[in-house]
Chains A and B, each alone.
Chain A
Amino acid sequence: MADVEMNNRVWSHKTQHFFETHSRFIIVVLVLLSLAILGSVASPYFRSSRNLLNFGRKMVVVLTMLSIGQTMVMIAGGIDLSVGAMVKLIGVFSAGMMLGEQGRLIPVSLLCLGFGGLVGLVNGLIVTKARVAPFIATLGMMSILRGIAFGYTTTPIGSVPKSMRFLARGMVGPFPFALFVIILFIVVACFVLKYTRFGRHLYAVGGNDEIARLTGINVDRTRILTYVVSGGLAALAGLFMVSRMGVGEPDIGEGLELDSITAVILGGTSLAGGVGGILGTVAGVLILGLIDNILNLLRVSSFYQLVVKGIIILIAVSIHRAKRQ
């Protein structure tokens, strides 16, 4: 009898502990579930496999890639506003240079990824060496990249080789190929955060950079590397986008930087840095994606969708603030 009571107490203590430590995670799961229910109620089409496929292709893959990079940047206490413009620029550049020729696929892709990393490097150097606030530094970069993209073309340009379209449209059995790619990225990113020095140091740098420095961590190098990763992933997301579209479309990528930041914050990563993780961000992406999808099914105009997104980011940040205090 007493044993049972004891067990109960231990159990309830454990559950309480679980709820306390995973409160954010639980909230996120609940939000996801309620959105899914809302979706099903709102439109019978919601649960159809075509819709789900569409949903995955359209938003989730590209946004997850951007948001993984953004998570790393933000854990280290920075922010990267240039990722949306990078997607745009890589989209038009790659299609414009490949011109549908198979032989150019790999060299152009590598060039694009290298360019993304290089831009990230420049962002990182401006932030660490020139001591420009990350918001301003990457805002400037965003403007530059957009300018180049629109200077290059204002109308759809070039095309990608057929084989590349497999990236976004290919199926492996009943599952889209992209799903495996994105799962691989998520796993690798989680691993990097937990099991590499770079990953551990992100939290230290974002938590308190002076402490990180006094502890012997190369703070600048860690910061720069986050922007390089973010830039590289943004370039990859751009390639992904163009493989879906087939042509270089200069209008793509608009607002993606804000979407990725929203996803990261929804996922519980602190704007101040030092706290956060990839799985939360993935949940954030899913929440954003679902909301997008539901609003589309309900035929809400894309302008009002922007309003909804804006409200969501404001609410998410206020909740965050309240929790911190």
Chain B
Amino acid sequence: MDLTQANLLEMRQIRKTFPGVTALDRVDFSCRQGEIHGLIGENGAGKSTLVKILAGAYHADGGEIVFDGENRRFTSPHDAQQAGIGIIYQEFTLLPDMSVADNIFLGREILLHGFVNHHHMRTEALKILDRLGGNIRAQQLAGQLTVAQQQRVEIAKALSLDARLIIMDEPSAALGGHELDMLFEIMRSLKSEGVTLIYISHRLSEIFEICDRVTVLKDGERVGVKFVAETDESELVRMMVGRDFEDVFPPLSEQANEHVVLKVGNLSCGEGVQDVTFDIRSGEILGIAGLAGSGQTELVRAIFGADSEVKGDIELNNEPVHISSPKRAIQAGITMAPEDRKTHGLLLDMSVGKNITLPIVKRFLRFLGLSSKKETETVERLIANLDIRITGHDQKVGQLSGGNQQKVVLAKCLGCEPKVLLLDDPTRGVDVGAKFEIYRLIRDLANNGAAILFISSELPEILGMSDRILVLSRGRLMGILDGKQATEERIMELATGTNSQVEAIGEAVHHG
């Protein structure tokens, strides 16, 4: 890259506050003409806020933007578009009931004598789409496209502006390997045409693959700017998190506890779970691994009584129990933190305190109404234990960051004082710092005697956290590994069934 190139964009001392939070605190950010500039940071570091200000979707409280040598102030998305700034949002902005061409030119329809010229719009849209490839027709409804195709339409939208600067807010989050390569190809060709790109991603490997420079944000402040050629992953992580990446996971439990808390025998539930048998001891974290959709979620839901048609035996503290509903599960001492906290775990419009005590509200019932003093005490104890950062327990859960929301889910579970805790991907969509805290919390719970079933979509997490690892494939138990000896390869062998021994079992099942 030509280092003498002038800055196309300079954002100086940008400030932005939302009620109760400083999202950006005097952030400087600049891009050179024709570079691909990475923007990274934990969730809540202010990346999206920064680019939204640049795109005119938010208004900065202070600071200035110099674009192409001119001092600009974008009061609406329209302003920014006019200046030649296109943005591809993390959540796509296509209208499913509208055609691709209409979507591309939405808000900037091509007119002929004052009226919308559909024909011209279609041919223009086709021209741009051809440049991007991907076999998309201009008349197609946007809702019928695949995610990767929709993203191309988003890019086409930005190109139709003749944008000189295109911002991509986590475009890779929804893409697979091959689609990601195609995206990078498009980005490189845009770069060769002189377009400047700002690329936001959580995945550091992508930053190293595609970006020239990278800016790191942390807690609404700029930590630094690096040439990717002069830095490495661990330095960037250190900048993002403010500490080293080592010692992420708390130590496994030292001595094995012999007391079996939960015993599951021949558990089956529809197609998802077939004939699974295992047990879990007090103080143990049992990781559940497998390829996506191998029955992990179904297994914990079956134990929790969330699905009907469950067959098999469950013993709790050596006594058989019949769990027909989540209510019975909670009464028996089993609680679950569901996979999707926003739809299954929390009532976003309700206060933190009310969410936490929702399952145990009965405890505070008195002759007349609720004992609010007792409830408050419980809530405060849990909030302090889990270090949930809020302005007060009447704050709405929807206003919290992902990490804090997840802690509220955990608090809700702990309020029930469970003997068995089912955690379904508890660190999903949570930033790095909060992940570390959640790991520590989970281990503390185990050390206090709870038996924990732990699902994660990230294999390193399972390996780091689990005392034993149960591997599923297509709803069947493929094996249980010791956490200290397990490796990523060994788990994948079992999960994919590439191991010869497993194949043999599979064969036997087929023919038997």
Q: Could you say which residues of chain B place their CB within 8 Å of the CB of A275?
A: 97
**CB contact between B102 and one of A200, A217, A218, A274 (< 8 Å): that residue:** A200
- Are B97 and A203 interface neighbours, CB within 8 A? yes
What residue of chain B has the Cβ atom nearest to residue A199's Cβ?
Answer: B116
Interface: A303 (CB within 8 A): no
Q: Could you say which residues of chain B place their CB within 8 Å of the CB of A212?
A: 106-107
- Are B95 and A274 interface neighbours, CB within 8 A? yes
- Are B98 and A216 interface neighbours, CB within 8 A? no
Considering the complex of A and B, which 9 residue pairs feature the smallest CB-CB distances, nearest first?
Answer: A216-B78, A216-B107, A195-B115, A215-B107, A211-B93, A207-B95, A216-B77, A217-B107, A195-B116
What residue of chain A has the Cβ atom nearest to residue B80's Cβ?
Answer: A216
- Are B76 and A216 interface neighbours, CB within 8 A? yes
Those of B36-93 within 8 Å (CB) of chain A: 55, 57, 76-78, 81, 87, 89, 93
Task: Determine the distance from Cα of A177 to Cα of B95 in the docked complex, in whole angstroms.
Answer: 41
Q: Could you say which residues of chain A place their CB within 8 Å of the CB of B93?
A: 208, 211, 214-215
9 sampled A-B residue pairs with Cβ under 8 A: A195-B116, A197-B109, A200-B109, A204-B106, A207-B97, A214-B55, A214-B89, A216-B76, A216-B78
- Are B77 and A200 interface neighbours, CB within 8 A? no
20 more A-B residue pairs beyond the given contacts A203-B97, A274-B97, with a C-beta to C-beta distance below 8 A: A194-B118, A196-B114, A196-B116, A199-B116, A200-B109, A200-B116, A201-B106, A201-B107, A203-B95, A207-B95, A207-B96, A207-B97, A212-B106, A213-B77, A214-B55, A214-B77, A214-B87, A216-B76, A216-B78, A218-B78
Interface: B111 (CB within 8 A): yes
- Are B95 and A196 interface neighbours, CB within 8 A? no
Chain A contact surface mostly: helix
What residue of chain A has the Cβ atom nearest to residue B117's Cβ?
Answer: A195
Task: Determine the distance from Cα of A83 to Cα of B106 in the docked complex, in whole angstroms.
Answer: 30
Interface size class of B (residues with CB under 8 A): 20 to 34
Contact with A along B314-357 (1 / 0, CB 8 A): 00000000000000000000000000000000000000000000
Q: Could you say which residues of chain A place their CB within 8 Å of the CB of B203?
A: none
Task: Determine the distance from Cα of A215 to Cα of B77 in the docked complex, in whole angstroms.
Answer: 7
Task: Determine the distance from Cα of A117 to Cα of B106 in the docked complex, in whole angstroms.
Answer: 27
- Are B106 and A215 interface neighbours, CB within 8 A? yes
Q: Could you say which residues of chain A place their CB within 8 Å of the CB of B78?
A: 216-218
**CB contact between B57 and one of A194, A208, A214, A218 (< 8 Å): that residue:** A214
- Are A207 and B98 interface neighbours, CB within 8 A? yes
Q: Known contacts A197-B116, A203-B95, A211-B95: does B109 contact A216 (CB below 8 Å)? A: no
Interface: B127 (CB within 8 A): no
- Are B77 and A204 interface neighbours, CB within 8 A? no
> Shortest distance in angstroms between A11's beta carbon and chain B's nearest beta carbon?
20
Interface: B108 (CB within 8 A): yes
> Shortest distance in angstroms between A122's beta carbon and chain B's nearest beta carbon?
24
**CB contact between A208 and one of B77, B95, B108 (< 8 Å): that residue:** B95
Q: Could you say which residues of chain A place their CB within 8 Å of the CB of B87?
A: 214
- Are A216 and B95 interface neighbours, CB within 8 A? no
Task: Determine the distance from Cα of A194 to Cα of B94 in the docked complex, in whole angstroms.
Answer: 19
Q: Could you say which residues of chain A place their CB within 8 Å of the CB of B116?
A: 194-197, 199-200
Task: Determine the distance from Cα of A106 to Cα of B161 in the docked complex, in whole angstroms.
Answer: 47
Task: Determine the distance from Cα of A216 to Cα of B82 in the docked complex, in whole angstroms.
Answer: 10
Q: Could you say which residues of chain B place their CB within 8 Å of the CB of A208?
A: 93, 95
> Shortest distance in angstroms between A275's beta carbon and chain B's nearest beta carbon?
6
Those of A211-240 within 8 Å (CB) of chain B: 211-218
Q: Could you say which residues of chain A place their CB within 8 Å of the CB of B111?
A: 197
Contact with B along A271-296 (1 / 0, CB 8 A): 00011000000000000000000000
Q: Could you say which residues of chain A place their CB within 8 Å of the CB of B114?
A: 196
Q: Could you say which residues of chain B place their CB within 8 Å of the CB of A216?
A: 76-78, 81, 107-108
Interface residues of B (CB under 8 A from A): 55, 57, 76-78, 81, 87, 89, 93-98, 102, 106-109, 111, 114-116, 118
> Shortest distance in angstroms between B139's beta carbon and chain A's nearest beta carbon?
12
Task: Determine the distance from Cα of A168 to Cα of B254 in the docked complex, in whole angstroms.
Answer: 92
> Shortest distance in angstroms between A155's beta carbon and chain B's nearest beta carbon?
48
The CB with the most chain A CB atoms within 10 A, among B81, B93, B107, B108, is that of: B107
- Are A204 and B57 interface neighbours, CB within 8 A? no
What residue of chain B has the Cβ atom nearest to residue A270's Cβ?
Answer: B97
Q: Could you say which residues of chain A place their CB within 8 Å of the CB of B76?
A: 216, 218
Q: Could you say which residues of chain A place their CB within 8 Å of the CB of B108?
A: 216
> Shortest distance in angstroms between B110's beta carbon and chain A's nearest beta carbon?
10
Task: Determine the distance from Cα of A199 to Cα of B116 in the docked complex, in whole angstroms.
Answer: 10
What residue of chain A has the Cβ atom nearest to residue B89's Cβ?
Answer: A214
Q: Could you say which residues of chain B place their CB within 8 Å of the CB of A211?
A: 93-95
What residue of chain A has the Cβ atom nearest to residue B161's Cβ?
Answer: A216
> Shortest distance in angstroms between B61's beta carbon and chain A's nearest beta carbon?
20
What residue of chain A has the Cβ atom nearest to residue B116's Cβ?
Answer: A195
> Shortest distance in angstroms between A223's beta carbon and chain B's nearest beta carbon?
15
The CB with the most chain B CB atoms within 10 A, among A194, A203, A207, A215, is that of: A215
> Shortest distance in angstroms between A47's beta carbon and chain B's nearest beta carbon?
39
> Shortest distance in angstroms between A284's beta carbon and chain B's nearest beta carbon?
19
Task: Determine the distance from Cα of A199 to Cα of B107 in the docked complex, in whole angstroms.
Answer: 11
The CB with the most chain B CB atoms within 10 A, among A194, A208, A211, A212, is that of: A211
Task: Determine the distance from Cα of A196 to Cα of B110 in the docked complex, in whole angstroms.
Answer: 10
Q: Could you say which residues of chain B place their CB within 8 Å of the CB of A196?
A: 114-116
Task: Determine the distance from Cα of A233 to Cα of B102 in the docked complex, in whole angstroms.
Answer: 28
Q: Could you say which residues of chain B place their CB within 8 Å of the CB of A215?
A: 77, 93, 106-107
Task: Determine the distance from Cα of A212 to Cα of B76 in the docked complex, in whole angstroms.
Answer: 12
**CB contact between A204 and one of B81, B107, B115, B118 (< 8 Å): that residue:** B107
The CB with the most chain B CB atoms within 10 A, among A196, A211, A214, A216, is that of: A216
Task: Determine the distance from Cα of A195 to Cα of B116 in the docked complex, in whole angstroms.
Answer: 5
Q: Could you say which residues of chain A place their CB within 8 Å of the CB of B81?
A: 216
Q: Could you say which residues of chain B place their CB within 8 Å of the CB of A214?
A: 55, 57, 77, 87, 89, 93
Task: Determine the distance from Cα of A214 to Cα of B158 in the docked complex, in whole angstroms.
Answer: 12
Task: Determine the distance from Cα of A214 to Cα of B102 in the docked complex, in whole angstroms.
Answer: 15
Task: Determine the distance from Cα of A203 to Cα of B143 in the docked complex, in whole angstroms.
Answer: 14
Q: Could you say which residues of chain B place their CB within 8 Å of the CB of A195?
A: 115-116, 118
Contact with B along A236-280 (1 / 0, CB 8 A): 000000000000000000000000000000000000001100000
The CB with the most chain B CB atoms within 10 A, among A196, A197, A218, A275, is that of: A197
- Are B95 and A200 interface neighbours, CB within 8 A? no
Q: Could you say which residues of chain B place their CB within 8 Å of the CB of A207?
A: 95-98
> Shortest distance in angstroms between B137's beta carbon and chain A's nearest beta carbon?
14
What residue of chain B has the Cβ atom nearest to residue A205's Cβ?
Answer: B95
- Are A200 and B97 interface neighbours, CB within 8 A? no
> Shortest distance in angstroms between B59's beta carbon and chain A's nearest beta carbon?
13
> Shortest distance in angstroms between B451's beta carbon and chain A's nearest beta carbon?
40
Q: Known contacts A214-B89, A217-B106: does B77 contact A203 (CB below 8 Å)? A: no
Task: Determine the distance from Cα of A119 to Cα of B352 in the docked complex, in whole angstroms.
Answer: 43
The CB with the most chain A CB atoms within 10 A, among B98, B102, B106, B111, is that of: B106
